[in-house]
Structure 1
Amino acid sequence: MFAQSWEDPECDRKALRIRSGDDVVAITSGGDNVLDLLLDDPARIVAVDINPAQAYLFELKRAAFVHLDYPGLIRLLGVDGTSNSFEKYRIVRDTISLSARNFFDARESWFEAGLLTQGGFERYFAILRRIIALAVGSKTMSRLFELEPGQQPAFYEEQWDGWRWRALMRIGCSKALLGNRLDPTWFADSEAADFGRHFTGLAQHVLTRLPARENYFLSQILLGRYSGNSMPTYLQEENFATIRERINRVQVVTAGIEDGLRALADNSIDAFALSNVFEYSPVDVFEVAKDEIVRVAKPGARIAHRNLLAPRRFGQDYRFNVDPELSDVLRASDRGFIYSHFEAGSLA
């Protein structure tokens, strides 16, 4: 579902304040943010995801860090736009599990197209990108990334926010279309009555308030690639050696979050990077998971948690202290921008 992670890792790192030697639980997803957290020198990261394909992807990324050089990593993932990335896959193929090998052996076309663009989420954005180009123009989309931040509000008002754009957002981000392309159960408990209006507001925020030139999430959505020098922290060359050295500190677990937490010892975890995992979970799973977090958390353990549309809030539980000011600051600065709520907090 996710070839990349779509949550801003800088927000997670500011919320979690990971210290050298900490033990961390994180959602695997595309693996990007798990790898970024290694830069804060945790002793261990338990990466949990219910989808085995996400574990296979992390295996592949880990193998690339261990067995390839930096240019080889970039080529394998398709970052540089070259077409022989399957050749790099063959180099690391025998170092990953049989299940992961079988999964990727059957998907050679993904490597040739650029692996980081082949998740379900990324393929949805590719469709949306082509439609946006019809609505606002491909030159306008590219021009956005050449602007100074102070130029973006006027550019949006004068060049972007026309009737075609507003119609696109109403239709392209409607509950019906999103549910058909992704998974309708994700939106069963949505707080938003009008999905199009909701996502239009989020889009306006990122297009006018956050520097586009520094936003690799936005460039992937609008351009289908990283723009200029803006790319995830884990893919920056200066971090390659550090991540390679620490990458075996990550333990990948394929399980629902509640089962992944049940397997952990009492009083063993310092920080929880929870993405928006409870968006896709029934309320009872959220309640069980909160109980397990309380059990496995060390005193003062920190949490980072997002919501896209579903009303799942740690702040409504007396056992958690959510910092509303920090949460709002991080939500407003989140380059991933698709999330409606961010909670930065700790165990009470």
Structure 2
Amino acid sequence: MAGTMRNTKIMEAVTQSTTVSKQGLFERAFAFAFKGLVYAQIWEDPVVDMEALEIQPDSRIITIASGGCNVLSYLVADPAQIIAVDLNTAHIALNKLKVAAALHLPDHAHFHRFFGQADSKQNLRAYKEHIRPHLDETSRSYWEGRDLAGRRRIGGFSSGLYKRGLLGGFIGTAHLLARLYKIDLRMMLTASTLEEQRAMFEQHLAPVFDRKFVRWLTDQPPALFGLGIPPAQFEALAGDEKMADVLRKRLEKLACDFEIRDNYFAWQAFGRGYGKGADTPLPPYLQAANYDLVRARAGRVEVEHANFVERLQASADASLDRYVLLDAQDWMNDQQLTLLWSEITRTARPGARVLFRTAAEPSLLPGRVPDELLGLWDYRAADSLGFTARDRSSIYGGVHLYVLK
């Protein structure tokens, strides 16, 4: 019964149309796909997040959990508490696995091998000896169960976790499509300068988006389900442009605006995992310099299988001060947005900060959340433009910061 209720909540979160419409069918297909593992790695830049949030020692953060990378990375900034909520069973299990691993694996070498490489049979032994005894029954059942392909889910950590999940499958399909055009996307990882990156992109990658098949394919909403983009967000992302042109611009930013050697998002996109070398980039929570901090503070993370708004409704007035919504608002109608911001405002401490991303460039709140409610918040427009420019994941049109007046 609990699983059925959660699946219903996922359906409610992404569906805005009737079941008999084409849009409604797309939305229900996305909801079905979203019930499994979507993000083995979260695609929001935690360095930008921490800059925007200005986390303090007394900060109480509530965030959508997603793949858990940012949840653990925020610990580097020393908050008092992090509440990570998600409706996706797989994401909850992954977050609980990461917290247990941070607390109970013997050292950074084990931790890095488990999540930084995620492709070693030694990880299965580490799971049994150090992590499994500290997982709750639901999480153990998830990881020791089998996916739709019949594979044990925990086996992903011995064969390449980042090639699994909806996003991992999407990236794998992109590599396959590129090979059909005689392009090896891994070549981007060999570039040593921004100039080389730009030259490779212009010569090899940009022309692909002019191919008729690619332009047709990217105009089909289900083709982008692997990016975690529901039909409603698909429309916001495309706007008045062809989707192929939008995706080309986003890929151009990823490939050309940041040095490959410093951007682990590029390694995931072009290499389907983190690099093997000692100097390849990693999320903050996996960096050796941060390991002791993450391990010492991992007990401050609370992972809850819950709806974000309902978790806020269960919270006391003025009890939270940092809110991370990822791109969830792109999925919401005006009524849902108003309820969300009413609860954020009620639970917010003075100086609270709300950070979110949008598929399109502008903030989606003006004109959709009542002026008297939104007027209580200061939109940091100039800062938001800077955060957007510096977000190395490059997938979003806008990164937005609101601060309680």
TM-score calculated relative to the size of structure 1: 0.91
2:31 is the counterpart of 1:3: no
Aligned to 1:115: 161
Distance 2:362 2:313 in 1: 24
Select the residue among 227, 235, 238 that pairs with 2:286: 235
> Offset of 1:311 from its aligned partner?
7.6
- Count of matched residue positions in the alignment of Structure 1 and Structure 2: 346
Identity %: 27
Distance 2:219 2:299 in 1: 41
Select the residue among 7, 31, 39 that pairs with 2:76: 39
TM-score calculated relative to the size of structure 2: 0.79
Aligned to 1:204: 252
Q: 1:333 is matched by which residue type in structure 2?
A: R
Select the residue among 285, 294, 300 that pairs with 2:345: 294
Q: Deviations over 1:298-347 (max 9, x none)?
A: 11111211012598624553232111111111111111111111102212
The 1:147/1:170 distance shift into structure 2, 3 A limit, reads farther
* Gapped regions of structure 1 (runs ≥ 5): none
RMSD: 2.3
The more displaced of 242-251 and 145-154 is: 145-154
Select the residue among 145, 148, 151 that pairs with 2:193: 148
2:314 is the counterpart of 1:275: no
The more displaced of 185-194 and 219-228 is: 185-194
The more displaced of 266-275 and 84-93 is: 84-93
Given that 1:133 and 1:141 are in contact with CA atoms closer than 8 Å, whether structure 2 keeps it comes out as: no
Select the residue among 205, 217, 233 that pairs with 1:187: 233
Select the residue among 354, 379, 395 that pairs with 1:322: 379
Distance 1:263 1:21 in 2: 20
SS at match of 2:322: strand
The 1:125/1:232 distance shift into structure 2, 3 A limit, reads same
Give matches, 1:1-348, under 5 Å.
Answer: 1-68=38-105, 69-77=107-115, 79=117, 81-91=119-129, 92-106=131-145, 107-135=153-181, 137-138=183-184, 141-162=186-207, 164-167=208-211, 170-171=215-216, 173-178=218-223, 181=226, 184-187=230-233, 190=236, 192-193=238-239, 194-227=242-275, 228=277, 229-309=280-360, 313-314=364-365, 317-348=374-405
> Offset of 1:191 from its aligned partner?
5.0
SS at match of 2:158: helix
SS at match of 1:210: coil
Given that 2:221 and 2:234 are in contact with CA atoms closer than 8 Å, whether structure 1 keeps it comes out as: no
The 1:108/1:27 distance shift into structure 2, 3 A limit, reads closer
* Gapped regions of structure 2 (runs ≥ 5): 1-37, 146-152, 368-373
> Offset of 1:170 from its aligned partner?
2.5
> Offset of 1:142 from its aligned partner?
2.2
The 1:271/1:240 distance shift into structure 2, 3 A limit, reads same
The 1:185/1:192 distance shift into structure 2, 3 A limit, reads closer
The 1:83/1:26 distance shift into structure 2, 3 A limit, reads same
The 1:29/1:180 distance shift into structure 2, 3 A limit, reads closer
The more displaced of 219-228 and 237-246 is: 219-228
The 1:143/1:198 distance shift into structure 2, 3 A limit, reads closer
Distance 1:173 1:113 in 2: 29
Given that 2:39 and 2:166 are in contact with CA atoms closer than 8 Å, whether structure 1 keeps it comes out as: yes
Given that 1:85 and 1:112 are in contact with CA atoms closer than 8 Å, whether structure 2 keeps it comes out as: yes
> Offset of 1:184 from its aligned partner?
4.2
Given that 1:279 and 1:312 are in contact with CA atoms closer than 8 Å, whether structure 2 keeps it comes out as: no
The more displaced of 321-330 and 308-317 is: 308-317
Distance 2:304 2:215 in 1: 38
SS at match of 1:147: coil
The more displaced of 69-78 and 296-305 is: 69-78
> Offset of 1:284 from its aligned partner?
2.2
Given that 1:189 and 1:311 are in contact with CA atoms closer than 8 Å, whether structure 2 keeps it comes out as: no
